[in-house]
Structures are given as structure tokens and as C-alpha cells.
Amino acid sequence: MVPWVSRPDEDQLNSLPLNENQASKGMRSEILSGVNKTIQRSITTAMHCKTPFKRIAIIGGGPAGLAAARGLTEEPGDFEVDLFERKKRVGGVWDYTGQKSKALEKWQHGGTGQGGRDEAISAIYKNMETNITSWLMAYSQHPFPKNSEKYPSRSEVEDYVESYRDRFVRVRALHTNTDVQRVRKENGEWTVSCEDLSTGHRFDGVYDAVVVANGHFERPYIPSGIPGLEEWRQRDPSCFSHAKYFDDPEDFRDKTVLVVGAGPSGTDVALQVAVGARQVYLSARRPSASPDLSAVGVRNVSEIVRYDGATRTATTIDGTELADINKVVFCTGYLYDFPFLDSYRSGPKGILDGGARLLNLYRQIFYIYDPSLAFLALQKSVVPMPLAESQAAVVGRVFSGRLPLPSVDDMTRAFHHDIERYGPGIHTLNFPLDVEYCRELQEWLDESATTAPGLQPLRWDDAHYEARRTSAEEKSVRLAKVAAHAATLKAARKPFNFPPRDH
């Protein structure tokens, strides 16, 4: 399934436990209501930017970075915007790179632990379709082409994102194939230090504000502390992979494969690999919640609690032993990573909390202690493009000086309120939290009388709300069709492909 779209139960990282009472829909709504009241009280002590920002750096040329550029383009301000993208063209995660074998080998032999940044490869794989319909995931005022599939393929989304850039994005400079290596604030200005990856040339840019939109599919997360795992990885690193490096299911033909993590990506990997594999195990903390892919030979198992590289076995929490494993694919999510913000990563005013979440952000966007630093699309289990535009509309208005922010004290209180209520999964906005979040941002614009001019993001009307509410159920119907088709391919020993899709 497509990364960063609707991940309600993705993995051990992204399903960090919440208090049972907090997990209820009613409590979640109450939490958001409480945050709203706190925010409204804060507006009484609101502060504007001392002067509108002019020079803006956007880090990341994916769907969120392009939305940020549109938000600034359509804002009635005289912005000078530079956009930096590490890959050779814009598109972010949707810029399919293929050819992951070298990156995988580098990751496999990169030592123990979580791994880190490597060459700019995409987490998108060869056979991919979205798990959100094209109608629901579209940007504002920019529908998918009429002949698009109901669940677009990766190439359709890639073309769509490029068409969005061509239609809406106007920047002073677009720096592709450029690695942002350091971002620091000195004497009231941001210095962005970069390297042109094609020439090795290094250069700096000076800005009034920075938007970080580099995504969260860069640094793979691997569970730690499981007996035998690190020993097996050291013994034979070629046995292990991560969803980021998955591309062609034919690489697993006639092998016994353990897929760890039964969220959308794990389900997708298990289903595709099962067409040619000898046996596929799909491990989840709650196997009862995993989809039934038995028709294509996938066996659902519970959480893995022990690995043994000497015998190539894994043992589940209920004592089941899985033997003769050739490959283990971790579909266990990613850690947030901003290596270029080294001076902001830790400490009482730091932004990173071990990579699982970000700290000290107001409305999950603005760095509380210096709102000239903003973050877009940190959220998971969301419809990303509309959400990114909702955030971009707010950022544009704040940076132009039209939309006030609360005081530092009030923003800090609002942030701690979020932490207390949401627990560790603060960025995971399962429905209806994602819709409510976007609606609250829109209310902020409406109540501040800054609705127009500027970027007009999607207003979540009843039709969109209902489509979002039923999106998981709809996708499960599609998944059943794909699984049935995959079973026929397996019987005929043919490689995986998708059945005909609905428009």
C-alpha cells in the first residue's frame, strides 16, 4: 500500500500503545475539543510576526513541499522561495527510483541499529496502487485525470504530482539533486548549507524562514531487543530487509519469507511475495486484525519474540516455531530524521524524541521557540495531500504576517496538552482525527478573517467525510479482489500483477 496514507495499524513503531480510554472515539473528540478551547484562549495573547518573512527555503520537493510552495505562491506576499530536493526531480516518495539492490546491500552491511540515511531511493515499489481513492486524495482544485484508476498506480500519482507542480508552483529557484546538509540560525537569519550531488559543489543560502517537508520515509525502523535478532543479522545480514528496500516480489520466488508488521505495507508485501514464494508468514501483534490472505498461501502468525540464525527459525509469542526462513522483511515503519537540524535535535527545546515523534511544535507545524521554522506532513494515517495543503495555507498566512500565533507560553501549554492526551502517538491521526485536524486548521483561518486571498485547501464537507469514513472498508473489498487474482497467478506460477482496476 502507498506509504504515508491511511496506516491505522502499520507496525510496532506506529502503533505505540495509548491509554485504553484515550483510544475511544469519544475521548479523542473530547481531546480535540479541549485543545480547541485552549487555542481559542491563547488567541487573546496572540502575536504577529514582527515583519512578514520574504526569503523562504523549502526542504523537500514531494507532495508536501510542493503544497508549501503553492501556499506561498498564492499568498498576497512578495516571497522569494527556494525549494531543495535531494533526488533528481520533484515528487518525493512518489518519484519511483527502482534499482534498490545497492542501497539494500549498503543498509544490510551498515552495522546494527536502526540504519540511517542512504542514497535517495524511494519507498515506492514496482507494483503499487494507493489505498485511498483518487477522488479523496486529490489536492484542492486539482482533480486526478478523468481516466485515472479508482486506486491510482504509482506512475499515475507520480504524473499527477508533476502536473500539480507545473500548474501551481512558482519558486525563485528549484535545486534538485541537492542535499541539504545543515540548517542553522545565526544573527536572526537561517543559513541553509547544501551540496550539489551531481558536481560536489557546496553552497549556502540565507533565509528568513524555513519549511521542512522532507517526509518520514527515510530512516527505517527495526525492532530492538528481541533475543537472537542482532546475532542473526550479524551472522547473515543478507537475510534481512525492510519495506523501504522492497521492489520486485520475484526476488523472493521459491523462498520462505517472514514479513514482520501487518499494516497496509506489510499486507501488500506479503500478498505480492506469496505469489511466487514457497511459504509466507505475516506476523502481527494482533493476528486477528490481519487480513485473510490464506488463499494465496499467507499464514498469519502472532508477534515474534525470538530469532535463531543458526537454525533459521523464529518463535512467536504463543510458542509457534517458524522454520527454514530464507528472508525476513520488516514492515515496521520509519523514524523521523532531520540530520541537517543537528543543533535542534535534543535538549529541553529540541524537536526529536528518539525519532518516534517531534516535540515543541504548535499545531504540529510551528517550532514554538522560533515559528520561522515550520514542519509539514508529519502526520500518519491521514489523507496526505489535502492535509498538506491545509497546513500550507496556514504557513503562508503566518509567514506573510496575516495570521497571528499565540504567545510562546500558550503554544507550549497547547503542545503539552496534546502530549498528555494523545500519548506517544501524537502524529498518528486515525480517522476521524485527521478530518477534525484539517477542519480545525480551516476554522483558524475562517475565524481570523484570512480565508481569502490565499491558498484555499479542501473543506471537509459531508461527502468527503463519508468517503474517508468508508475508505478502509472500500479498500478491503479491493484487497479481496487482488488476493483472489493473486491466487490464480500462484497456481499458474506467473509473476504478480494487479487485476483490472475500477475507474
- Helix (H, G, I), strand (E, B), or coil: what is residue 308? strand
Amino acid symbol at 324: D
- Using the predicted structure, report yes or no on whether residue 497 has a pLDDT greater than 80: yes
Among 454, 392, 332, CA closest to 62: 392
Phi, psi of 252 (to 5 degrees): -110, 10
pLDDT score at 36: 46
Summarised one tens digit per residue, pLDDT across range 309-352 is: 999 999 999 999 999 999 999 999 999 999 999 888 888 899 98
Summarised one tens digit per residue, pLDDT across range 127-181 is: 999 999 999 999 999 999 999 999 999 999 999 999 999 999 999 999 999 999 9
Domain 49-219+335-467 carries which CATH code? 3.50.50.60
Amino acid symbol at 150: K
Asked whether 386 and 434 are in contact (CB, 8 A), the reply is: no
* Domain 49-219+335-467 and domain 222-332+472-491 have a common topology: yes
Is the model more confident about 31 or about 146?
A: 146
Spatial distance between the Cα atoms of 338 and 24, rounded to a whole number of angstroms:
32
Is the model more confident about 208 or about 49?
A: 208
- Using the predicted structure, report yes or no on whether residue 231 has a pLDDT greater than 90: yes
pLDDT score at 288: 67
- Helix (H, G, I), strand (E, B), or coil: what is residue 367? strand
Is the model more confident about 171 or about 112?
A: 171
Q: Name the one residue in this structure whose C-alpha cell is 523549502.
A: 58
Q: Kindly report the CATH class assigned to 222-332+472-491.
A: alpha beta
What are the residue ranges spanned by the domains of the chain?
Answer: 49-219+335-467, 222-332+472-491
- Beta bridge partners, 260, equal 283, 330
Asked whether 314 and 232 are in contact (CB, 8 A), the reply is: no
The four Cα atoms 39, 390, 177, 184 give a dihedral, to 10 degrees, of -20
- Beta bridge partners, 330, equal 242, 260
Amino acid symbol at 132: I
Summarised one tens digit per residue, pLDDT across range 181-219 is: 999 999 999 999 999 999 999 999 999 999 999 999 999
Q: Which residues contact 264 (CB under 8 A, 6 or more apart)?
A: 1, 2, 5, 6, 7, 10, 131
- The cell numbers describing 316, all together, are 512467536
Spatial distance between the Cα atoms of 421 and 429, rounded to a whole number of angstroms:
13
Confidence of residue 240 (pLDDT cuts 50, 70, 90): very high
Asked whether 381 and 434 are in contact (CB, 8 A), the reply is: yes
Tell me how many degrees the CA angle 315-319-323 measures, rounded to the nearest 5: 40
Confidence of residue 49 (pLDDT cuts 50, 70, 90): low
Asked whether 11 and 333 are in contact (CB, 8 A), the reply is: yes
Amino acid symbol at 106: K
- Using the predicted structure, report yes or no on whether residue 29 has a pLDDT greater than 70: no
CA 334 to chain centre: 8
Query: What is the chain's length?
Result: 503
- Using the predicted structure, report yes or no on whether residue 400 has a pLDDT greater than 50: yes
Confidence of residue 502 (pLDDT cuts 50, 70, 90): low
pLDDT score at 347: 83
Burial of 380 (0-12, 13-18, 19+ CB in 10 A): buried
pTM equals 0.89
- The cell numbers describing 231, all together, are 546475532
Residue 82, H or E segment: strand 80-84
pLDDT score at 31: 38
- N-to-C CA span, the chain: 18
Among 311, 248, 251, 321, CA closest to 283: 321
Spatial distance between the Cα atoms of 453 and 101, rounded to a whole number of angstroms:
48
DSSP-assigned letters across all residues of 438-503: HHHHHHHHHHTT--SSS--PPP--HHHHHHHHTHHHHHHHHHHHHHHHHHHHHHTTPPP-PPP---
Angle between helices 471-491 and 264-274 in degrees, nearest 10: 20
CA 184 to chain centre: 25
Phi, psi of 7 (to 5 degrees): -115, 75
Spatial distance between the Cα atoms of 157 and 215, rounded to a whole number of angstroms:
16
Phi, psi of 225 (to 5 degrees): 80, 5
Burial of 186 (0-12, 13-18, 19+ CB in 10 A): exposed
